[in-house]
Structure 1
Amino acid sequence: MSKWIGAAAICVNSDNQVLMVLQGKPEEEKRWSVPSGGKEQDETLEECCIREVYEETGYRCEIIQVIKDKAGAFGPVKYHVKYFEIAIVGGQPTLHDPDGLIYEIAWKTAAQLNELHFSFPEDKEFLLRYIEQRALD
């Protein structure tokens, strides 16, 4: 069984909106996700997260903290994804995705998240709880 390791970025702005990207292979239905991707050979998960955010959104970011680990299997592939809370520190929304899988960058409210088709449906509840908790803090 092979293993895939990656990082995902959770960024909530001052309007309580989450940074999301519309993604998918050209032949697939496009679905929404937080910026994320696979770890390259000699990079840390933090470096992976920062690189993926830039490639998929054009934003420069910094890591605030780890907020979730997700592990499981998708068919014969085991996966482990570390979710980081990030802060935007520069850049502007621009696609730099070398894989050509990102089609749109958007900030989404909790109400909008409820209407989206997610690449990883299990992330929806987590994001909604995370936004709700941040609003209470």
Structure 2
Amino acid sequence: MEFYDYDTRVAAYAVIVDGDRILLSWWNGEGVGTPAWSLPGGGIELEETAEQGAIREVREETGFVVELTGLLVVDSHVVAPGDRTIETDRWARHLRIVFTARVVGGELGTLEVDGSTDRADWVPIAAVPDEPHVGLVEVALGAWLDRRA
């Protein structure tokens, strides 16, 4: 399959850790899927850089203003036409750029308006494996833990 035969979605996310807890957003499963924890972040706008998109998305989903502290991992995820949130016969590649970040302002609690997340919260890192979560959380948390080792 050639690159023009499928759709591409570029999204940016942030891993924000405070002590032994990580900031996660609750993806409401709108369209398809079961609600689960995800990283704060999402699709970047055409005029944004990945960094700008990550900062905006974190603010929208959590209420926090963040400063990015580094690139953590770039992940690619392929989605079949029947698993997409829109009706289409085209495959999709989701390119997910994950940064590390730290909170520099704002407060937890702002809810995204008409978005795919309902809330955000600090979740103990040790509890993440037992909580419902999307695959991106495993990818990013694994990369973060490897970096610390």
How far does residue 118 in structure 1 lie from its aligned partner after superposition? 1.1
Pair 1:123-2:137 in alignment: yes
How far does residue 72 in structure 1 lie from its aligned partner after superposition? 3.2
How far does residue 26 in structure 1 lie from its aligned partner after superposition? 7.7
The answer on whether the counterparts of 2:58 and 2:66 sit within 8 Å (CA) in structure 1 is yes
Identity of aligned residues (%): 24
User: SS in structure 2 opposite 1:42?
Assistant: coil
Q: Find the aligned partners of 2:139 and 2:92 in 1 and give their Cα distance.
A: 24
Report the structure number with the largest CA radius of gyration: 2
Q: Find the aligned partners of 1:105 and 1:122 in 2 and give their Cα distance.
A: 16
Partner of 1:21: 25
Partner of 1:49: 54
Partner of 2:98: 83
The answer on whether the counterparts of 2:11 and 2:42 sit within 8 Å (CA) in structure 1 is yes
How far does residue 93 in structure 1 lie from its aligned partner after superposition? 0.8
User: SS in structure 1 opposite 2:17?
Assistant: coil
Change (3 A) 1:53 1:103: same
TM-score between the two structures when normalised by the length of structure 2: 0.79
The answer on whether the counterparts of 1:21 and 1:102 sit within 8 Å (CA) in structure 2 is yes
Corresponding residue pairs, total: 133
TM-score between the two structures when normalised by the length of structure 1: 0.86
User: SS in structure 2 opposite 1:29?
Assistant: coil
Q: Aligned ranges for residues 1-137 of structure 1 at < 5 Å?
A: 1-13=6-18, 15-24=19-28, 25=30, 29-75=34-80, 76-119=91-134, 121=135, 123-124=137-138, 126-128=140-142, 130-131=144-145, 134=148
How far does residue 77 in structure 1 lie from its aligned partner after superposition? 0.4
1:47-71 alpha-carbon deviations (Å, 9 max, x no partner): 0000000000000001110010001
User: SS in structure 1 opposite 2:132?
Assistant: coil
Q: Find the aligned partners of 2:49 and 2:105 in 1 and give their Cα distance.
A: 21
The answer on whether the counterparts of 2:12 and 2:43 sit within 8 Å (CA) in structure 1 is yes
Partner of 2:84: none
For structure 1, which runs of at least 5 residues remain unmatched after alignment?
none
